[in-house]
Amino acid sequence: MSIQWKLVILAALSLTCGCAERKYSNPLDPRNPETHGRPTGLRVYSVRDTVFLSWRRLELTGLEGVRIWRSEDGSDFRPVAIVSPGASGFADPGLQYGLSYRYFITVLGADFESAPSETLAIRPGPTSAVAVDPYVGLVTRYSYDVRHEIWESSLAAYPYDVAVDRRRGKVWVPDALEGSVWCLSLRSGDYILRAAGYWSPWKISLQPATGRVLIADLYGQQVVALDASGSELWRDNRFQRPSDVAAAGMGFWVLDRQTKNVAYYPSPGSEPMYSCPLALNDPRAIETDSKGLSLWLADATAIYSFDMRNGEWVAVMTSLLDVRALSLSPNGEQAWVLDGVAQSQFVARAIRLNRSGFVEAESRGWYGASDIAFDWATKGCVLANPQTHELVRLDSLGNVESRRTGLVRPTFVEVE
């Protein structure tokens, strides 16, 4: 066969295929090879007791609406609303915490109803989680069950911690690479402000009552305070390696990695009012309660607490293996702790302690986990595990409620 005839046959075949593809280009045609006649792009997330749905809007004429279907048991689906055919979203409020809801949508025409979209499940709850991945420069807010994204921000080059101001609707993120601090909208993730001029902002602490933010600038050898609007209040540059900071009234606690000292300063430049008298081995983290009345300190193998009302230090637990993270309840009476050898699945654990050192909950098998966040509403927690590429929500007893897998390296997390 000549080359000319081969070209003619190939051209004819391409035209035939093109006509066939155009013939089934209607996304609601069951013969469409991409959609199979189903609505596409369904996405869900929740905030408090409301589930939000969105989908890919259909640019077709002759449609009469989109029907929203919901199930509370996974099998008995009932229609809850019909929205206009040009709509691409729906809010379903007033749902019950603790229940898992499932949704799909169908498209309505004058004399037909499409096949259902894919079905998605979600469990709404009173809180959400904000996770930070420094390796890909992402800050992401997730629904209560940590399985569904509310928003994602890539503004920070190397986000290294996160503080959530629930009252004012803000998320604060230190950028350790660019030497700045970002403030994002809790609702949308949109940019609010950026404070720059630091060396290596490492950790960040929020004072809930005032919205004041404290920044531990590790290699800048300073602690910096910003007000709720992002204006700088002061800098205190007397420290060698401030690796953590915690707000307490108008003063602040500082953990200095170089000197292994933990001290409270009533104001910038002042002498310390309290200093930890304990022989610390390798202090890892500090946290204060929402009123700044108590401090919890994580050493490598022990947890200590300090009560500012009586000036007493207490050993909460001294039989730990390798403390990697600490998260305190708002009232300061209990904390979730990540403990164990990072390479061992069997001894790496998350435990919830009260101030007396009693273990109220325990969950094992969390090797590789890097951060933990106390959920004030449930007494559970959220774990960030960059090694297994997931976020995990535990209930108050340490049982797994839900998890989000397939992430890159979520390293820090905070519950709002």
CATH number (domain holding residue 169):
2.130.10.10
**Over pLDDT 70: what percentage of the chain?**
90
**Residues 225 and 110 reside in one and the same domain:** no
Take residue 368 and report the two structure tokens written for it: 């590789």
Report long-range pairs for 148-153 (Cβ below 8 Å, ≥24 apart). Answer: 148/43, 148/44, 148/45, 148/46, 148/122, 149/45, 150/45, 150/47, 150/189, 151/188, 151/189, 152/189, 153/184, 153/189
Q: pLDDT digits over 279-325, tens only?
A: 999 999 999 999 999 999 999 999 999 999 999 999 999 999 999 99
**Residues 201 and 216 reside in one and the same domain:** yes
Take residue 331 and report the two structure tokens written for it: 């009232």
CA distance 91 to 268: 47
- Report helix, strand or coil for 100: coil
Predicted local distance difference test score (pLDDT) of residue 194: 98
**Residues 101 and 209 reside in one and the same domain:** no
Is residue 3 domain-resident?
no
Predicted local distance difference test score (pLDDT) of residue 12: 35
**Residues 106 and 216 reside in one and the same domain:** no
Predicted local distance difference test score (pLDDT) of residue 396: 98
Establish how many alpha carbons lie within 13 A of residue 223's alpha carbon, considering only the half-sphere containing its beta carbon: 27
Is residue 28 domain-resident?
no
Take residue 104 and report the two structure tokens written for it: 């799909």
Angle at 284 between CA 398 and CA 166, to 5 degrees: 60
pLDDT at 372 over 60: yes
pLDDT at 11 over 60: no
pLDDT at 3 over 90: no
Mean of pLDDT values over 64-89: 94
Predicted local distance difference test score (pLDDT) of residue 110: 85
**Residues 75 and 149 reside in one and the same domain:** no
CA distance 197 to 181: 9
**Residues 274 and 163 reside in one and the same domain:** yes
Mean of pLDDT values over 104-116: 91
Give the count of domains, the chain. 2
**Residues 134 and 89 reside in one and the same domain:** no
Contacts of 2 (CB under 8 A, 6+ apart): none
- Among 26-30, 247-251, 271-275, which is the least confidently predicted range? 26-30
Residue 164's domain spans which residues?
Answer: 129-415
Question: Pick from 90, 106, 122: which residue ends a domain?
Answer: 122
- Report helix, strand or coil for 11: helix
Mean of pLDDT values over 337-366: 87
CA 14 from centre of chain: 49
Take residue 416 and report the two structure tokens written for it: 């709002």
**Residues 91 and 141 reside in one and the same domain:** no
Is residue 369 domain-resident?
yes
Q: What is the CATH number of the domain that holds 54?
A: 2.60.40.10
CA distance 36 to 5: 36
Mean of pLDDT values over 108-114: 88
Is residue 311 domain-resident?
yes
Mean of pLDDT values over 194-218: 96
Question: Pick from 107, 122, 137: which residue ends a domain?
Answer: 122
Is residue 259 domain-resident?
yes
Take residue 196 and report the two structure tokens written for it: 């720059």
pLDDT at 19 over 90: no
Mean of pLDDT values over 240-250: 95
Is residue 260 domain-resident?
yes
Mean of pLDDT values over 25-32: 65
**Residues 118 and 134 reside in one and the same domain:** no
Question: Pick from 92, 122, 152: which residue ends a domain?
Answer: 122
CA 299 from centre of chain: 25
Is residue 9 domain-resident?
no
pLDDT at 380 over 80: yes
**Residues 227 and 308 reside in one and the same domain:** yes
User: Predicted confidence band at 32 (pLDDT cuts at 50, 70, 90)?
Assistant: low
Predicted local distance difference test score (pLDDT) of residue 20: 44
**Residues 216 and 299 reside in one and the same domain:** yes
Q: pLDDT digits over 147-165, tens only?
A: 999 999 999 999 999 999 9
Mean of pLDDT values over 223-229: 97
Amino acid 219 reads Y
Is residue 29 domain-resident?
no
Residue 144 has phi, psi (to 5 degrees) of: -50, -45
User: Predicted confidence band at 79 (pLDDT cuts at 50, 70, 90)?
Assistant: very high
CB 220 within 8 A of CB 231: no
Contacts of 158 (CB under 8 A, 6+ apart): 134, 137, 175, 176, 177, 178
CB 54 within 8 A of CB 43: yes
**Residues 106 and 135 reside in one and the same domain:** no
